[in-house]
Amino acid sequence: MSDISHHQAVVPEKLVQGKPHARGWNLAVLGVLPSWLLMGFALIIPILIIVAVSFSVRGAYGGFDWGFDLAGYKQILFNEGWSGEIEFTPQYLVIILRTLLLAGVTTLLCLTLAVPVAYYIASQPPFRKALLVYLVTLPFWMSMILRVYAWMIILGRDGPLPQFLQFFGAPSGLTLMYNDGATLAAMVYTYIPLMVLPVFASIEKLDGTLIEAAHDLYGSRWTALRRVILPLTAPGIASGAILVFVPSLGAVLEPILMGGGKQMMMGSLIQLQFGGGRNWPFGSAIAVMLMIFVMIVLVLIALRARRKEVAA
């Protein structure tokens, strides 16, 4: 077929449809097909399998055997003694509660730090604004493990912070590592850029005249912040909260490196069950619980956003 006949075929169609590429249906399906295949194979199927494994039987030599058993979930709350008695053990419940608490506190701390900084950046002239946004983004692209390692140095033995505190009379040999506070310090540090950027984006879109109006109506700065700025930046705060809370719930490196062996979170517990612990059904049960927590958060925030939309 010649080029000319091809084009003759295209022109009338364009006149009818008004836009080129009107026959794009096949191409559109072909375009998304590879991503569906990759995510199906590497994500969706594995997640279905992990749900199945969480109900399966623990293998004699690690791993698992197919079957139906609730042992993986039972182990979260109960421990079977050597003579078969069932006993309530709070150790894993403590890990779950610690995970929720640390992730929540991380999100709150990131938020309280991010709002003023984002507000300040948004109020700068264009060039300085771009520069500061770049400076916020940059550490995020540096290796996560190195950013956690930096805090191991700062808080560790002979580190700058213990030395600084000793200078002001703290006892020598003071250790700031291997506790929940150390884990929290590393988590806030590693996730804060994820909060600043979305909050900044929504503060930047804020209509400044509304703040002036609040002031003209005798609202104080505090009132303007509480009644105008924060409600209008709620979408940015919500997406920042998701971006910080979700990875905080699944944190692995921070509890392993900063919390030491004892101050575990759900992420490091899962890692342990698939690494040294060799109890796949239990590890899968914890992973399923972690997914459920994340889904609850996402659904709650989506519902809130929809209610706002309806109200507006």
To the nearest whole angstrom, how small is the minimum distance from the Cβ of residue 90 to another protein? 23
Q: Cβ(251)–Cβ(264) under 8 Å?
A: no
Measured in whole angstroms, how far is the alpha carbon of residue 96 from the centre of its chain?
16
Whether 237 and 194 have beta carbons less than 8 Å apart is answered as no
Could you say which of 13, 36, 65, 300 contacts another protein (CB under 8 A)?
36
For residue 140, the 8-state DSSP code is G
**Count of residues that bind another protein according to CB under 8 A:** 97
Which of these segments, 22-30, 81-89, 90-98, 164-172, binds another protein (CB under 8 A)?
Answer: 22-30
Rounded to an integer, what distance in angstroms lies between the CA atom of residue 242 and that of residue 68? 34
CB of 91 to another protein, least distance (A): 19
Could you say which of 9, 13, 47, 223 contacts another protein (CB under 8 A)?
47
Alpha carbon distance 247, 289 (integer Å): 15
Which residues between 132 and 151 bind another protein (CB under 8 A)? 132, 134-139, 141-147, 149-151
Rank residues 94 and 120 by Cβ distance to another protein and give the closer one.
120
Q: Give the interface segment with another protein, choosing from 173-181, 220-228, 233-241, 301-309 (CB under 8 A).
A: 220-228
Among 119, 232, 235, 278, binds another protein (CB under 8 A): 119
Instruction: Write 105-108 long-range contacts (CB < 8 A, 24+).
Output: 105/184, 106/184, 106/187, 106/188, 106/191, 106/244, 106/245, 106/248, 107/195, 107/241, 107/244, 107/245, 107/248
Contact between 194 and another protein (CB under 8 A)?
no
Residues in region 234-263 near another protein by CB under 8 A: 246-247, 249-250, 252-253, 257
How far apart are CB 225 and another protein at their closest, in Å?
8
Calculate the alpha carbon distances from 79 to 84, 88, 94 in Å: 9, 6, 14
38 binds another protein (CB under 8 A): yes
> What type of residue sits at position 67?
G
Residue from the set 1, 2, 5, 6 that interacts with another protein by CB under 8 A: 6
Our CB check for another protein shows the closer of 80 and 205 to be 205
Burial annotation 72-99 (CB, 10 A radius, 16+ → b, else e): bbebbeeeeeeeeeeeeeeebeebbebb
Q: What is the dihedral of CA 274, 277, 278, 282, to 10 degrees?
A: -80
Q: What is the pattern of x (binds another protein, CB under 8 A) and - over residues 268-307?
A: --xx--xx----x--xx--x--xx--x---x---------
Candidates 72, 156, 198, 236: give the one binding another protein (CB under 8 A). 156
Q: What part of residues 51-110 is at the interface with another protein (CB under 8 A)? A: 53, 63
Report CA-CA distances (Å) from 276 to 47, 73, 163, 268, 283: 22, 19, 36, 11, 11
Of 80 and 223, nearer to another protein (C-beta) is 223
